[in-house]
Each structure stands twice: as structure tokens, then as C-alpha cells.
Structure 1
Amino acid sequence: MPVRVTLNDLMVRKGLKARDVAAQVGLSETQFSLFRSGKVKGIRFSTLSRLCAVLECRPGDLLDYDFDPREMEPVEPEEV
């Protein structure tokens, strides 16, 4: 998947502990760990907003994208 979660890098730079951030955001440590490791398929905008507020950052600070031309191949439309 070309979208990568970079939350862990941001937390290291800011010297924050996962347990503290998870509590402030209102997530269980398990849910937070799954997002940090990129093992989720999506995230609610409300959760993303809370993460940004707690970490004083923008969504682009938590996610990165590596372009993969194979991702541009035609696919069936998905529901949004």
C-alpha cells in the first residue's frame, strides 16, 4: 500500500509516549498501536482530527504517500 502511517516518527520527534497520546485521543492502546503500525484499513476523520489536535500537527504529518503506477490501473469503483 503506498500510504504509510508516520505517526510513530512524529511521536519520537516530540518525545511522546503512546499510552499518553492514546488516552488524550480517546483510543484504547490496542487501537492506537494498530494505527501506528499501519495495520488498519482506514481511520475516521473525527479520530484523525483528535490526533492532530493532541499532537498539534496536520494530517500530512501523520501519513505519507509513495506513488505506485500500478495503483493507477483501472479498478471497480468503491463506495465512499
Structure 2
Amino acid sequence: MQEFYSQWDHVVKKVTQFDLSFSEESLETNFNKLLNHEIPSMEQFLHVCQLATKYFRQFENVVDVEIKPDDKLVIYMDVLKP
């Protein structure tokens, strides 16, 4: 298992496989992995980003943003858990 040190929160993250079936059970399992500083592989992360992009492009309030190779991208969001 690979590990990465995150500068923004000073915690070692472990790369693990996430269940991408998007069932209620898998979402809870994946959420708990994130809480335990486990992160998906880059391939899995990109796959979810592509699915999200496809979904969100259906809405008219989506704006394209150009990101250059040396730019840092920080995503802030609310995560709601019932």
C-alpha cells in the first residue's frame, strides 16, 4: 500500500481501492475510508471526476476553469452525511 504525506493537513494518506459501485453501502464505506486518511488511487479519482463532470455538465451553472500543469487545485465542498 502506497502512502503519501499531505502538506495541507500534515497527515500520511494511504492509497487503497475504493468501491465504485455507488451503492449506499459502498458510499458509506468509502466515506469512512476518507475519514481514516485512506484515499483512492489516481486512476479511481480521475474516473470519479470524469463521471462527476459528465453529470454536472447537465446543469447550466457549471463554469469551465482552465488549470495549468503547475497550478495547485484545492477542492472545498460540503460533505453531508445523513
Q: Whose strand fraction is larger, Structure 1's or Structure 2's?
A: 2
TM-score after normalising by structure 1: 0.31
Higher relative contact order (CA 8 A, sep 6+): 1
> TM (normalized to structure 2)?
0.30
More helix by share: 1
